[in-house]
Structure 1
Amino acid sequence: MPATRNIQVLSLVATSLAALSVPATVLGAEALYVAGFGGSTQKAFEEQIIPGFEARTGAKVTYVPGNSTDTLAKLIAQKSKEDVSIAMLDDGQMSQAVEQNLCMPLPAFPMLNDIYPKARMSGGKAVGFGFYATGLGYNKGVFAKNGWATPTSWNDLGDPKYKGKVSIAPISSYGMMALVMIARANGGNEEKIEPGFEAMAKKVSPNVLAWEASPATMAQMFQTGEAALIVWGNTRVQPVVDQGAPVAFVYPKEGAVLGMVTACVINGGPKPKLAQRFLEEVLSPAAQVQLAKWAALGPTNSKAKLEPDVARNVVYGPDQVGALVPLDWSVINLKRPDWTKRWNREVER
């Protein structure tokens, strides 16, 4: 997700900035402060990746979870006095971080040659460490009960039969991807967004039960069938499947959005060399396997080898990676403020 004038969330920073403050006891000679994702990704790092890194380096890694929008806002607010050494963000927000000069150039380590080209972000300052696909999730129980066929298109979100059964996150999250992909499904694109707004306002919005920002609430609504058709990532749908719910992820015929969780070494942050070592650890085949197993993130390192029972639940291999649709975040970020105002006025009202 030109100069980024679109960080409107900064007005919220004053109340939450303390969450990114590092205690004095952490700022020792070998301390590393990592701002990352919560949920299964946090668990994978804290239980599978960080302990080995600490044992090999003698470092103390403090992992503080948060969503990408809030983390980005806090990093911007702390610019030039950063406590963070490594930041992990969704690709849209990471593109904004790079535009804000928050990231150092990537170190020239050989492992980068093994990273899929789609995971190397433009500018050479950030890199994807996990792929995911954004598409449609549906509750198979509700669909079977109503005699509905499996959804196949982004335009299905606007089918009147799903009135009151659709849930989408706001435009600051999955809503943006839905807007762009519905525009593409109707002859538009990032440069020509009008078909997306027209379909979202006139067809999709009347079907929406909730513009749900909370992953936990979305998961509950999805699991119970209160929300039977949603826009979500495969990494979000899979844990609900693992809990035994009758849900599934769909790659729409127009394509699922290429999603990445990304990382960069923070410009001006403490311990940059140690941070670079941590980034190498995250991109290693061993760590990539753990992220696939525990967080359903598809490997961005082409040398990572997954067992079949893991591979079938993630984006894996050159064919699947190549099939995902990348979004033009440079265009989206430039137009985000205007689109957000229009969304709030016409779509999520």
Structure 2
Amino acid sequence: MKLNRLIALCLTAGASMFAIEAHAAGDLNIICSADPEVCDVMKAAFEKQSDIKVNMVRLSAGETYAKIRAEARNPKTDLWWAGTGDPHMQAADEGLTQEYKSPLFDQLQGWAQKQAESSGFKTVGVYAGALGWGYNTEILAKKGLKEPKCWADLLDPSYKGEIQIANPNSSGTAYNTLATLVQIMGEDKAFDYLAKLNGNISQYTKSGSAPVKAAARGEATIGIVFMHDAVAQTVAGFPIKTVAPCEGTGYEIGSMSIIKGARNLDNAKKWYDWALSAEAQSHMKEGKSFQLPSNKNAEIPKEAPRFEAIKLIDYDFKTYGSSEKRKALLSRWDKDIGAQAN
């Protein structure tokens, strides 16, 4: 009897352990650095076609980078989806993410493939979008302000307190802006420009898309953002006009990375491959996401700003995606701009 009872207990314990392992095999912990609406759309679409339960948290790209650095010895995240590519590159540079080459690699646009190759396949491009701004046409007309068409125009004293931009420490969008201006003007001139621009900034937000949302609500006149974020507000019915700066502008490669030490690695790879598919990327427009998808066969939203219509710089993702360059630029921004911020 004792032996039979012992066997029964062992079988019960084994079954319990199996149940725990089976449950764990069905989990995936993701940080999403896109807008909440598209995060929700992608989560729902993936769960619909798989038996994997997605636990998703929404954080800005800068916040995510800081989080996975802090948790490097005991990762709680399996995969990081979306957000500007610079912090993804920085995470790769520091060994916080792991190498993975998807079977769908050959289906991707050249800029997405280059992102992967330059990171040693520790990240990959999932979408792209150009930097610019959106302004509220009704407020502009009411206040008698001229249309800002160029970076230089944003320094006009008439825009004092009218502009919002994110903080580059928390926002990948704002770091991309900082790196873009440095590449257009040179570092010293770019920081001179930012010091003058600071006089016109009403708020440095945490999220990269928040400035144009504030403009849509009438809380600001101009929001410096990726152009697709401004387009999203126009599509939603707000009086927002999107601008591509006349001098030229940078762009983002929204990226995806598997965290080194991911507890649910197989499931992370399943999301990774799915998220690079034309089918998955065609879902993004359902979340009012108007970026250019990285899969050549994905449907491009008709409202998406096209690269061929924008004067783009040859953005150096390798240099400005390095940890050393990021630390140097942010340190100078904190000292020269952040300390003087309104």
TM-score interval, normalised by the smaller of the two chains: 0.7 to 0.9
Closer, same or farther in 2 for the Cα pair 1:129/1:105, shift >3 Å?
same
| 1:41-98 CA-partner distances (Å, limit 9, x unpaired) | 2122133x223332xxx22222222222222222222224323221124211101110
Q: 2:192 aligned with 1:198, yes or no?
A: yes
Pick aligned residue for 1:29 from 8, 25, 49: 25
> What is the CA-CA distance between 1:290 and the residue it aligns to?
0.9
Q: 1:42 — aligned with what?
A: 39
Q: Which runs of 5+ in 2 are unaligned?
A: 1-19
Q: 1:213 — aligned with what?
A: 206
- Which segment is superposed worse, 223-232 or 243-252? 223-232
Q: 2:340 aligned with 1:343, yes or no?
A: no
> What is the CA-CA distance between 1:176 and the residue it aligns to?
3.0
> What is the CA-CA distance between 1:184 and the residue it aligns to?
4.3
Question: Does structure 1 conserve the Cα–Cα contact (< 8 Å) formed by 2:212 and 2:223?
Answer: no
Closer, same or farther in 2 for the Cα pair 1:153/1:327, shift >3 Å?
farther
| 1:205-256 CA-partner distances (Å, limit 9, x unpaired) | 1111112224685345312433212211123223322332211221112333
> What is the CA-CA distance between 1:337 and the residue it aligns to?
3.0
**In structure 2, what is the Cα distance between the partners aligned to 1:165 and 1:287?**
38
> What is the CA-CA distance between 1:301 and the residue it aligns to?
0.7
SS of aligned partner of 1:101: coil
**In structure 1, what is the Cα distance between the partners aligned to 2:308 and 2:158?**
34
SS of aligned partner of 2:24: coil
Closer, same or farther in 2 for the Cα pair 1:159/1:178, shift >3 Å?
farther
SS of aligned partner of 2:47: helix
- Which segment is superposed worse, 157-166 or 334-343? 334-343
Q: 1:76 — aligned with what?
A: 69
- Which segment is superposed worse, 118-127 or 25-34? 25-34
Q: 2:155 — aligned with what?
A: 158
Letter in 1 for 2:295: N
**In structure 2, what is the Cα distance between the partners aligned to 1:229 and 1:127?**
31
Question: Does structure 1 conserve the Cα–Cα contact (< 8 Å) formed by 2:211 and 2:225?
Answer: no
**In structure 2, what is the Cα distance between the partners aligned to 1:269 and 1:157?**
44
SS of aligned partner of 1:96: helix
Q: 2:328 aligned with 1:334, yes or no?
A: no
Q: Percent identity?
A: 22
SS of aligned partner of 1:244: coil
SS of aligned partner of 1:28: helix
> What is the CA-CA distance between 1:340 and the residue it aligns to?
2.6
Give the number of aligned pairs: 310
Closer, same or farther in 2 for the Cα pair 1:255/1:325, shift >3 Å?
farther
> What is the CA-CA distance between 1:321 and the residue it aligns to?
9.0
| 1:312-340 CA-partner distances (Å, limit 9, x unpaired) | x2245x74699465244534642333433
> What is the CA-CA distance between 1:115 and the residue it aligns to?
0.9
Closer, same or farther in 2 for the Cα pair 1:165/1:329, shift >3 Å?
farther
1:242-321 map, 5 Å:
242-294=235-287, 295-306=289-300, 310-311=301-302, 313-315=303-305, 319=308
Q: Which runs of 5+ in 1 are unaligned?
A: 1-23
**In structure 2, what is the Cα distance between the partners aligned to 1:132 and 1:304?**
15
Question: Does structure 1 conserve the Cα–Cα contact (< 8 Å) formed by 2:167 and 2:206?
Answer: yes
**In structure 2, what is the Cα distance between the partners aligned to 1:293 and 1:35?**
20
CA RMSD of aligned residues (A): 2.7
| 1:169-225 CA-partner distances (Å, limit 9, x unpaired) | 112234333333334444x2xxxx000011211x21111111222468534531243
